[in-house]
Amino acid sequence: MVSCRVGFCLILLGTVLVFYTVGAGGATAEKGVTYDGRSLIIDGQRKLLFSGSIHYPRSTPEMWPSLIEKTKEGGIDVIQTYVFWNLHEPKLGQYDFSGRNDLVKFIKEIRSQGLYVCLRIGPFIEAEWNYGPSKFHMRKFTSKIVNLMKSEGLYASQGGPIILSQIENEYGNVEAAFHEKGASYVKWAGQMAVGLQTGVPWIMCKQPDAPDPVINTCNGMRCGETFPGPNSPNKPKMWTEDWTSFFQVYGAEPYIRSAEDIAFHAALFVAKNGSYINYYMYHGGTNFGRTSSSYFITGYYDQAPLDEYGLLRQPKYGHLKELHAAIKSSANPLLQGKQTILSLGPMQQAYVFEDPSSGCVAFLVNNDATKVIQIQFRNNAYSLRPKSIGILQNCKNLIYETAKVNVAKNMRVTTPVQVFNVPDKWEVFRETIPTFSGTSLKTNALLEHTKLTKDKSDYLWYTSRFKPDSPCANPSLYIESSGHVVHVFVNNALAGSGHGSRDIRVVKLQVPVSLINGQNNISILSGMVGLPDSGAYMERKSYGLTKVQISCGERKTIDLGGSKWGYSVGLLGEKVRLHQWRNLRRVKWSTNNAGLIKNRPLAWYKIMFDGPNGNGPVGLNMESMGKGEMWVNGESIGRYWVSFLTPSGHPSQSIYHIPRAFLKASGNLLVVLEEEGGDPLGISLNTISVVGSNQAQSQLS
């Protein structure tokens, strides 16, 4: 976490917010964004805004236009994205804004479709993203991004689409761990951001002490019930993360939140004066490469209104689209009217916004989750479903009910179009298991994993030797690791594997081994599945082996922790960058031997394949494999892990997205790294589509 040092904190600049000038002949709103206690004010107009999170690096530039178009068609006004610091500045001072990292292109695409942008610069972002960056160079990076946006004219104050920026992210979760430094850091971060003079407001989410003029906002699933509100009556009530689902880790089932529940809580937030709701995520996308944080699957918020592939999830998408239209049809009374709250029963209320010039709208709330309730309101009778909010246009016509879904459910189907089951087409390269004598870094201790790998690789080899000084009966190895995965090799053979989970971080593993009387080679591969994305003092977290013991029967245990250990970072195939065409010849591949192909730990596989017809989404079914990573034409499509089953006995994720932009019509190269052993002959290429509506246009008359 960033700590605020005294010298650094003195860089406080004057606060400038937004301008609203009175010109000749009355009030003239200039371009720009300000706010009052009711809402954001854009170009002089109060705004009720629906927003959706889409993270540009979690899809491809080729996908952006259609994702944005579907989002707009869903009744969304704003696209909210984080800025992914470690993608843009992988090495200090070396910036990358190319390809999926082309933030300016993404924002310009949003502008061209007429939507606004909320730019969550962070730079600490969490987001289930590998090591949500937390460096002392926060100010430098924040200025870099702000200046980039200014130079492209992208702030609303310049006529561009960016109406909001966020500084920090859910720092309130960890603030207490930093005692008084936490609060002064928040102040500093706010002042630093405001000092950058973007001409649009700044927000901080989950930050009750956000300093003026920064707006504190809510994240969660029920902000209408949980959010105490802004910390000043002059700030609008905003919800920056309305979780449409939840992140998913390996070993867990997807979190399914119903369309009715999302609609209920969104409507309640608006009924209680909320004027900005952002769905997190509206489209989650894919954690390509090694970008996902600890244990997260590559599919990100697949249950969002637009699924991992950008396909519509019905009825969620359509039900929310109708909600947005219903609320927008009463934007005037909502934004200009005076609120009154009436009790209509023990668990029923009406929230009424009314104003002689702008009209009237009422939200009838039935909090009873079990009963249909008849409600009398202004001489009309309404019947409300359990746990439902009805929206009365003109305080009379029931135009929407959160618990009544009019949109038909659709279903996603995965169709295998090629099974890679011809042994002759595959080639395999097996990693050599390093031994102690071949390593260059040696110490008398078990070292921390990430200090050596520096996240350049998931893998670190711990190698040692063991020579029993007396006969060792029924030998077994006992290993403890603080994360995440271990594979134990004794004399070149895999003796066993173990892993932790997001909830149980310590890996404990006892495996029987066979030893010879002389020197035995012990090589333990420690693997990580991403770094943490959040928490206090992340830099103090440690991973890798903490204990290695050999037991001979019941009686004798020899601790190897203090023996000589030799280290080697990464795998050979990684070092030669075997996933790229030009490096394929740097190792010797075995061909044409089905027997060699199956169930080999630490094997690299390659095959050539044709791209599937059509232009719909494509995915690889990896269910026949164990754990590893795969690349298509040199692009990593992420880490797979199908051997880690959910409590109900299924892989958390079987299908792995290959964006169309990675594929050619023919001559595609698939490279797979398998850690545990699997059967590549079962891998298949699939097209993904939906049965039922995938039309963004309303199906309703």
Ligand X SMILES: *[C@@H]1O[C@H](CO)[C@@H](O)[C@H](O)[C@H]1NC(C)=O
Residues designated catalytic: 170, 241
Minimum distance from CB of 29 to ligand X (Å)?
Answer: 22
Which string of DSSP letters, residue by residue, matches 101-135? G-HHHHHHHHHHTT-EEEEEEES---TTBTT----
**Could you give the CA distance from residue 154 to residue 158 in angstroms, rounded to a whole number?**
7
- In this complex, which beta carbon is closest to ligand X, that of residue 367 or of residue 521? 521
Contact 22, 29 (CB under 8 A): no
Minimum distance from CB of 458 to ligand X (Å)?
Answer: 24
Question: Counting contacts by CB under 6 A, is residue 435 touching ligand X?
Answer: yes
Question: Counting contacts by CB under 6 A, is residue 349 touching ligand X?
Answer: no
Contact 451, 126 (CB under 8 A): no
Contact 637, 657 (CB under 8 A): yes
Minimum distance from CB of 517 to ligand X (Å)?
Answer: 10
In the chain, helix, strand, coil percent, each to 5? 20, 35, 45
The amino acid present at 244, given as its one-letter code, is T
Contact 333, 361 (CB under 8 A): yes
- In this complex, which beta carbon is closest to ligand X, that of residue 37 or of residue 498? 37
Angle, CA 380 vertex, CA 378 and CA 382 arms, to 5°: 115
Minimum distance from CB of 20 to ligand X (Å)?
Answer: 20
Contact 133, 85 (CB under 8 A): yes
Residue range at the interface with ligand X (CB under 6 A); choices 178-186, 421-429, 431-439, 453-461 = 431-439
Residue range at the interface with ligand X (CB under 6 A); choices 167-175, 434-442, 480-488, 646-654 = 434-442
The amino acid present at 323, given as its one-letter code, is L
Number of Cβ within a 10 Å radius of residue 533? 21
Contact 371, 383 (CB under 8 A): no
Minimum distance from CB of 461 to ligand X (Å)?
Answer: 13
> Directed axis angle between helix 138-151 and helix 179-194, to 10°?
20
Under rule CB under 6 A, which residues in 261-280 are in contact with ligand X?
A: 272-273
Minimum distance from CB of 266 to ligand X (Å)?
Answer: 15
Under rule CB under 6 A, which residues in 16-75 are in contact with ligand X?
A: 37
**Could you tell me how many residues of this chain bind ligand X (CB under 6 A)?**
13
Which string of DSSP letters, residue by residue, matches 554-567? TTEEEE-TTS-EEE
**Could you give the CA distance from residue 543 to residue 349 in angstroms, rounded to a whole number?**
52
Minimum distance from CB of 436 to ligand X (Å)?
Answer: 7
Question: Counting contacts by CB under 6 A, is residue 339 touching ligand X?
Answer: yes
- In this complex, which beta carbon is closest to ligand X, that of residue 268 or of residue 531? 268
- In this complex, which beta carbon is closest to ligand X, that of residue 270 or of residue 597? 270
650: preceding bond cis by omega (within 30 degrees): no
Angle, CA 144 vertex, CA 141 and CA 150 arms, to 5°: 145
Question: Counting contacts by CB under 6 A, is residue 568 touching ligand X?
Answer: no
Residue range at the interface with ligand X (CB under 6 A); choices 28-36, 106-114, 433-441, 614-622 = 433-441
User: Where do the H-state alpha helices sit in 558-698?
Assistant: 572-575, 594-597
Q: Tell me, what DSSP letter sits at residue 299?
A: B
Among positions 437, 557, 590, 599, the unique one binding ligand X when judged by CB under 6 A = 437
Residue range at the interface with ligand X (CB under 6 A); choices 78-86, 254-262, 366-374, 432-440 = 432-440
**Could you give the CA distance from residue 232 to residue 201 in angstroms, rounded to a whole number?**
14
Please return the burial class of 118, using the count of CB atoms within 10 Å of its CB with bins 0-12, 13-18 and 19+.
buried
Residue range at the interface with ligand X (CB under 6 A); choices 293-301, 304-312, 396-404, 515-523 = 515-523
- In this complex, which beta carbon is closest to ligand X, that of residue 25 or of residue 233? 233
- In this complex, which beta carbon is closest to ligand X, that of residue 166 or of residue 273? 273
Minimum distance from CB of 403 to ligand X (Å)?
Answer: 21
Among positions 61, 208, 438, 677, the unique one binding ligand X when judged by CB under 6 A = 438
Among positions 342, 516, 645, 691, the unique one binding ligand X when judged by CB under 6 A = 516
Contact 179, 186 (CB under 8 A): no
Minimum distance from CB of 221 to ligand X (Å)?
Answer: 19
- In this complex, which beta carbon is closest to ligand X, that of residue 171 or of residue 436? 436
Question: Counting contacts by CB under 6 A, is residue 523 touching ligand X?
Answer: no
Contact 656, 298 (CB under 8 A): yes
Question: Counting contacts by CB under 6 A, is residue 549 touching ligand X?
Answer: no
**Could you give the CA distance from residue 690 to residue 258 in angstroms, rounded to a whole number?**
18
- In this complex, which beta carbon is closest to ligand X, that of residue 314 or of residue 520? 520
Residues 6+ apart with CB under 8 A from 165: 118, 119, 120, 121, 146, 193, 198, 200, 201, 202, 203
Start-to-end CA span in the chain (Å): 52
Under rule CB under 6 A, which residues in 91-150 are in contact with ligand X?
A: none
Minimum distance from CB of 521 to ligand X (Å)?
Answer: 4
- In this complex, which beta carbon is closest to ligand X, that of residue 81 or of residue 521? 521
Contact 412, 690 (CB under 8 A): yes
Minimum distance from CB of 207 to ligand X (Å)?
Answer: 19
- In this complex, which beta carbon is closest to ligand X, that of residue 433 or of residue 673? 433
- In this complex, which beta carbon is closest to ligand X, that of residue 100 or of residue 237? 237
Q: Tell me, what DSSP letter sits at residue 571?
A: -
| CB-side neighbour CA atoms (13 Å) of 34 | 14
Question: Counting contacts by CB under 6 A, is residue 491 touching ligand X?
Answer: yes
Minimum distance from CB of 237 to ligand X (Å)?
Answer: 7
Among positions 60, 134, 521, 633, the unique one binding ligand X when judged by CB under 6 A = 521
- In this complex, which beta carbon is closest to ligand X, that of residue 235 or of residue 313? 235
Tokens of 615: 């232009």
Among positions 28, 234, 415, 492, the unique one binding ligand X when judged by CB under 6 A = 492
The answer to whether the Cα torsion of 504, 286, 618, 528 is positive or negative is: negative
Residue range at the interface with ligand X (CB under 6 A); choices 101-109, 149-157, 518-526, 655-663 = 518-526
Residue range at the interface with ligand X (CB under 6 A); choices 308-316, 371-379, 435-443, 644-652 = 435-443
Q: Tell me, what DSSP letter sits at residue 574?
A: H
CA 112 to the chain's CA centroid: 26
Residues binding ligand X (CB under 6 A): 37, 272-273, 339, 435, 437-438, 491-492, 516, 519-521
